[in-house]
Protein backbone atom coordinates (compact mmCIF):
# COMPACT_ATOMS: atom_id res chain seq x y z
CA UNK A 1 0.00 0.00 0.00
CA UNK A 2 1.69 3.18 -1.20
CA UNK A 3 0.60 5.48 1.59
CA UNK A 4 3.18 6.78 4.03
CA UNK A 5 0.40 8.20 6.17
CA UNK A 6 -1.24 4.81 6.47
CA UNK A 7 2.03 2.99 7.12
CA UNK A 8 3.06 5.41 9.88
CA UNK A 9 -0.34 5.26 11.60
CA UNK A 10 -0.45 1.48 11.35
CA UNK A 11 3.08 1.17 12.75
CA UNK A 12 2.11 3.30 15.76
CA UNK A 13 -0.65 0.84 16.64
CA UNK A 14 1.52 -2.19 15.82
CA UNK A 15 4.05 -1.12 18.42
CA UNK A 16 1.50 -2.10 21.06
CA UNK A 17 0.10 -5.23 19.38
CA UNK A 18 1.30 -7.60 16.69
CA UNK A 19 0.59 -6.52 13.14
CA UNK A 20 -1.89 -9.34 12.50
CA UNK A 21 -4.09 -8.33 15.42
CA UNK A 22 -4.05 -4.66 14.39
CA UNK A 23 -4.89 -5.59 10.81
CA UNK A 24 -7.82 -7.80 11.82
CA UNK A 25 -9.08 -5.06 14.15
CA UNK A 26 -8.91 -2.60 11.26
CA UNK A 27 -10.95 -4.91 9.02
CA UNK A 28 -13.66 -5.47 11.63
CA UNK A 29 -13.69 -1.72 12.37
CA UNK A 30 -14.36 -0.92 8.69
CA UNK A 31 -17.14 -3.53 8.57
CA UNK A 32 -18.72 -2.02 11.70
CA UNK A 33 -18.92 1.39 10.01
CA UNK A 34 -21.29 -0.07 7.41
CA UNK A 35 -23.31 -2.37 9.64
CA UNK A 36 -25.97 -2.08 12.32
CA UNK A 37 -25.38 -5.67 13.39
CA UNK A 38 -21.57 -5.95 13.57
CA UNK A 39 -20.45 -3.84 16.55
CA UNK A 40 -16.72 -3.28 16.79
CA UNK A 41 -14.93 -5.24 19.51
CA UNK A 42 -11.14 -4.97 19.09
CA UNK A 43 -9.09 -7.98 20.10
CA UNK A 44 -5.98 -5.90 20.71
CA UNK A 45 -5.22 -4.18 23.99
CA UNK A 46 -4.25 -0.66 22.99
CA UNK A 47 -2.72 1.56 25.63
CA UNK A 48 -3.66 4.87 24.05
CA UNK A 49 -6.62 7.23 24.29
CA UNK A 50 -9.37 7.39 21.68
CA UNK A 51 -8.27 4.29 19.79
CA UNK A 52 -11.39 4.44 17.60
CA UNK A 53 -10.26 7.72 16.07
CA UNK A 54 -6.90 6.15 15.22
CA UNK A 55 -8.59 3.34 13.33
CA UNK A 56 -10.81 5.88 11.59
CA UNK A 57 -7.67 7.71 10.45
CA UNK A 58 -6.43 4.43 8.93
CA UNK A 59 -9.73 4.02 7.11
CA UNK A 60 -9.53 7.61 5.88
CA UNK A 61 -6.08 6.96 4.41
CA UNK A 62 -7.46 3.92 2.57
CA UNK A 63 -10.34 5.96 1.13
CA UNK A 64 -7.93 8.66 -0.09
CA UNK A 65 -5.73 5.99 -1.65
CA UNK A 66 -8.71 4.41 -3.41
CA UNK A 67 -9.71 7.79 -4.84
CA UNK A 68 -6.29 8.13 -6.42
CA UNK A 69 -6.26 4.57 -7.77
CA UNK A 70 -9.76 4.28 -9.22
CA UNK A 71 -9.76 6.81 -12.03
CA UNK A 72 -11.51 4.99 -14.87
CA UNK A 73 -14.29 2.48 -15.42
CA UNK A 74 -12.91 -1.01 -15.00
CA UNK A 75 -10.27 0.03 -12.46
CA UNK A 76 -9.87 -1.95 -9.26
CA UNK A 77 -7.37 -1.96 -6.43
CA UNK A 78 -6.80 -4.36 -3.54
CA UNK A 79 -5.21 -2.33 -0.71
CA UNK A 80 -5.89 -4.97 1.93
CA UNK A 81 -4.35 -7.90 0.06
CA UNK A 82 -1.26 -5.94 -0.90
CA UNK A 83 -0.67 -4.67 2.64
CA UNK A 84 -1.34 -8.12 4.10
CA UNK A 85 1.18 -9.76 1.78
CA UNK A 86 3.82 -7.12 2.38
CA UNK A 87 3.60 -6.35 6.07
CA UNK A 88 1.33 -8.75 7.94
CA UNK A 89 1.70 -12.38 6.92
CA UNK A 90 4.97 -14.10 7.67
CA UNK A 91 6.54 -16.39 5.09
CA UNK A 92 5.89 -19.37 7.34
CA UNK A 93 2.19 -18.55 7.57
CA UNK A 94 1.95 -18.18 3.81
CA UNK A 95 3.58 -21.56 3.32
CA UNK A 96 1.50 -23.37 5.93
CA UNK A 97 -1.79 -21.89 4.71
CA UNK A 98 -1.03 -22.00 1.02
CA UNK A 99 -1.50 -18.23 0.86
CA UNK A 100 0.12 -17.07 -2.34
CA UNK A 101 -2.05 -14.31 -3.78
CA UNK A 102 -2.37 -14.04 -7.55
CA UNK A 103 -0.57 -10.96 -8.98
CA UNK A 104 -2.96 -8.24 -10.21
CA UNK A 105 -1.90 -8.50 -13.88
CA UNK A 106 -2.61 -12.25 -13.84
CA UNK A 107 -5.98 -11.56 -12.22
CA UNK A 108 -6.84 -9.16 -15.05
CA UNK A 109 -5.87 -11.74 -17.65
CA UNK A 110 -7.91 -14.52 -16.04
CA UNK A 111 -10.96 -12.29 -15.59
CA UNK A 112 -10.91 -11.29 -19.26
CA UNK A 113 -10.51 -14.94 -20.29
CA UNK A 114 -13.37 -16.01 -18.03
CA UNK A 115 -15.72 -13.12 -18.70
CA UNK A 116 -17.31 -11.38 -21.64
CA UNK A 117 -19.70 -8.59 -22.52
CA UNK A 118 -22.65 -10.90 -21.93
CA UNK A 119 -21.90 -10.78 -18.19
CA UNK A 120 -22.44 -7.01 -17.88
CA UNK A 121 -25.61 -6.40 -15.92
CA UNK A 122 -26.58 -10.05 -16.38
CA UNK A 123 -27.55 -10.70 -12.77
CA UNK A 124 -25.53 -13.91 -12.67
CA UNK A 125 -23.76 -15.43 -9.66
CA UNK A 126 -19.95 -15.37 -9.69
CA UNK A 127 -18.15 -17.61 -7.20
CA UNK A 128 -14.57 -17.86 -5.95
CA UNK A 129 -14.26 -20.78 -3.47
CA UNK A 130 -10.77 -19.73 -2.32
CA UNK A 131 -11.11 -15.98 -2.61
CA UNK A 132 -8.16 -14.73 -0.57
CA UNK A 133 -8.63 -10.96 -0.41
CA UNK A 134 -11.36 -11.10 -3.04
CA UNK A 135 -9.33 -9.62 -5.87
CA UNK A 136 -10.75 -11.92 -8.58
CA UNK A 137 -14.27 -10.90 -7.61
CA UNK A 138 -13.62 -7.16 -7.41
CA UNK A 139 -11.76 -7.32 -10.74
CA UNK A 140 -14.69 -9.17 -12.32
CA UNK A 141 -17.13 -6.66 -10.83
CA UNK A 142 -15.08 -3.75 -12.17
CA UNK A 143 -15.31 -5.06 -15.74
CA UNK A 144 -18.71 -6.73 -15.60
CA UNK A 145 -20.92 -5.00 -13.00
CA UNK A 146 -24.44 -6.13 -12.25
CA UNK A 147 -23.66 -9.65 -11.04
CA UNK A 148 -23.81 -11.24 -7.60
CA UNK A 149 -20.36 -12.15 -6.23
CA UNK A 150 -19.78 -14.92 -3.71
CA UNK A 151 -16.42 -15.31 -1.97
CA UNK A 152 -15.46 -18.26 0.22
CA UNK A 153 -12.30 -18.78 2.24
CA UNK A 154 -11.15 -20.95 5.13
CA UNK A 155 -9.08 -18.10 6.60
CA UNK A 156 -10.89 -15.48 8.70
CA UNK A 157 -8.59 -12.63 7.74
CA UNK A 158 -9.10 -13.40 4.05
CA UNK A 159 -12.87 -13.41 4.48
CA UNK A 160 -12.73 -10.06 6.28
CA UNK A 161 -10.50 -8.57 3.56
CA UNK A 162 -12.99 -9.65 0.92
CA UNK A 163 -15.88 -8.04 2.82
CA UNK A 164 -13.93 -4.78 3.05
CA UNK A 165 -13.01 -4.92 -0.64
CA UNK A 166 -16.69 -5.46 -1.49
CA UNK A 167 -17.52 -2.35 0.56
CA UNK A 168 -14.94 -0.16 -1.17
CA UNK A 169 -15.79 -1.36 -4.69
CA UNK A 170 -19.58 -1.38 -4.34
CA UNK A 171 -19.87 -5.12 -4.92
CA UNK A 172 -23.22 -6.81 -4.36
CA UNK A 173 -22.54 -10.20 -2.83
CA UNK A 174 -21.74 -12.42 0.11
CA UNK A 175 -18.61 -13.72 1.81
CA UNK A 176 -18.47 -17.02 3.69
CA UNK A 177 -15.79 -17.99 6.19
CA UNK A 178 -15.59 -21.76 5.87
CA UNK A 179 -13.91 -24.63 4.09
CA UNK A 180 -15.61 -24.55 0.68
CA UNK A 181 -14.87 -28.27 0.27
CA UNK A 182 -17.11 -29.01 3.25
CA UNK A 183 -20.13 -26.70 2.86
CA UNK A 184 -22.74 -26.82 5.59
CA UNK A 185 -23.91 -25.16 8.77
CA UNK A 186 -21.57 -27.29 10.91
CA UNK A 187 -18.51 -25.96 9.09
CA UNK A 188 -19.54 -22.32 8.60
CA UNK A 189 -17.75 -19.99 11.00
CA UNK A 190 -19.30 -16.79 9.67
CA UNK A 191 -20.89 -15.11 6.67
CA UNK A 192 -21.64 -11.56 5.59
CA UNK A 193 -23.97 -10.00 3.01
CA UNK A 194 -22.77 -6.77 1.38
CA UNK A 195 -25.52 -4.85 -0.40
CA UNK A 196 -25.18 -1.40 -2.04
CA UNK A 197 -28.34 0.62 -1.39
CA UNK A 198 -29.59 2.51 -4.49
CA UNK A 199 -31.62 4.94 -2.36
CA UNK A 200 -28.37 5.99 -0.62
CA UNK A 201 -26.34 6.46 -3.82
CA UNK A 202 -24.92 2.97 -3.56
CA UNK A 203 -23.78 3.25 0.05
CA UNK A 204 -23.17 -0.37 1.14
CA UNK A 205 -24.63 -2.06 4.18
CA UNK A 206 -23.21 -5.24 5.75
CA UNK A 207 -25.35 -7.84 7.47
CA UNK A 208 -24.22 -11.11 9.09
CA UNK A 209 -25.73 -14.28 7.66
CA UNK A 210 -26.36 -17.83 8.71
CA UNK A 211 -25.21 -20.54 6.31
CA UNK A 212 -28.83 -21.32 5.41
CA UNK A 213 -29.34 -17.70 4.31
CA UNK A 214 -26.49 -17.66 1.79
CA UNK A 215 -26.90 -18.06 -1.94
CA UNK A 216 -24.05 -20.56 -1.87
CA UNK A 217 -26.15 -22.78 0.40
CA UNK A 218 -29.11 -22.48 -1.98
CA UNK A 219 -26.93 -23.60 -4.92
CA UNK A 220 -25.59 -26.61 -3.04
CA UNK A 221 -29.08 -27.62 -1.89
CA UNK A 222 -30.40 -27.29 -5.43
CA UNK A 223 -27.63 -29.51 -6.80
CA UNK A 224 -27.98 -31.99 -3.95
CA UNK A 225 -31.71 -32.44 -4.49
CA UNK A 226 -31.04 -33.06 -8.19
CA UNK A 227 -28.33 -35.57 -7.38
CA UNK A 228 -25.63 -33.32 -8.86
CA UNK A 229 -22.38 -31.87 -7.58
CA UNK A 230 -20.28 -28.99 -8.97
CA UNK A 231 -17.69 -31.50 -10.13
CA UNK A 232 -19.85 -33.75 -12.26
CA UNK A 233 -20.80 -33.38 -15.91
CA UNK A 234 -24.40 -32.24 -15.54
CA UNK A 235 -25.62 -29.08 -17.25
CA UNK A 236 -26.38 -27.33 -13.95
CA UNK A 237 -22.97 -28.19 -12.54
CA UNK A 238 -21.20 -27.02 -15.70
CA UNK A 239 -23.06 -23.72 -15.62
CA UNK A 240 -21.81 -23.11 -12.09
CA UNK A 241 -18.25 -24.02 -13.02
CA UNK A 242 -18.25 -21.51 -15.89
CA UNK A 243 -18.54 -18.75 -13.30
CA UNK A 244 -16.13 -20.19 -10.77
CA UNK A 245 -12.54 -18.96 -10.46
| pLDDT category of residue 232 using cuts at 50, 70 and 90 | low
| Residue (of 68, 58, 62) closest to 11 by Cα position | 58
Tell me the average pLDDT across 97-117.
Answer: 85
Q: pLDDT digits over 77-101, tens only?
A: 999 999 999 888 754 454 445 567 8
Q: What pLDDT does 135 receive?
A: 97
Q: Is the dihedral of CA 124, 129, 134, 140 positive or negative?
A: negative
Separation in Å, CA 218 to CA 20, 119, 132, 136, 227: 34, 21, 22, 22, 14
The C-alpha atoms of residue 217 and residue 221 are separated, in whole angstroms, by: 6
pTM score of the predicted model: 0.89
Tell me the average pLDDT across 210-237.
Answer: 75
Q: What pLDDT does 170 receive?
A: 95
The C-alpha atoms of residue 39 and residue 32 are separated, in whole angstroms, by: 5
Kindly report which listed range (42-46, 150-154, 191-195) carries the lowest average pLDDT score: 42-46
Cβ contact 84:22 at 8 Å: no
Q: pLDDT digits over 163-199, tens only?
A: 999 999 999 999 999 999 998 999 999 999 999 998 7
SS3 at position 208: strand
| pLDDT category of residue 243 using cuts at 50, 70 and 90 | low
CA angle 192, 229, 123 (to 5 degrees): 50
Q: Which helix (H) or strand (E) holds 169?
A: helix 156-169
Q: What b-and-e string marks burial along 108-138, b requiring 16 or more CB atoms within 10 Å of the CB? A: beebeebbeeebeebeebbbbbbbbbbbbbb
| pLDDT category of residue 222 using cuts at 50, 70 and 90 | confident
Number of alpha carbons in the 13 Å side-chain half-sphere of residue 18: 6
Amino acid sequence: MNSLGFNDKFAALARQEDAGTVFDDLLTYIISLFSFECPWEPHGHYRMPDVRSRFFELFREIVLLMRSRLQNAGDWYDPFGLFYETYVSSQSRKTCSGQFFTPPHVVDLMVRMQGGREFTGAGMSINDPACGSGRFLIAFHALYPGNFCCGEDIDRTCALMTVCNFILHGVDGEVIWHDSLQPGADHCSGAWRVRPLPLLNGLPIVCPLEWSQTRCCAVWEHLRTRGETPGDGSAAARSRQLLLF
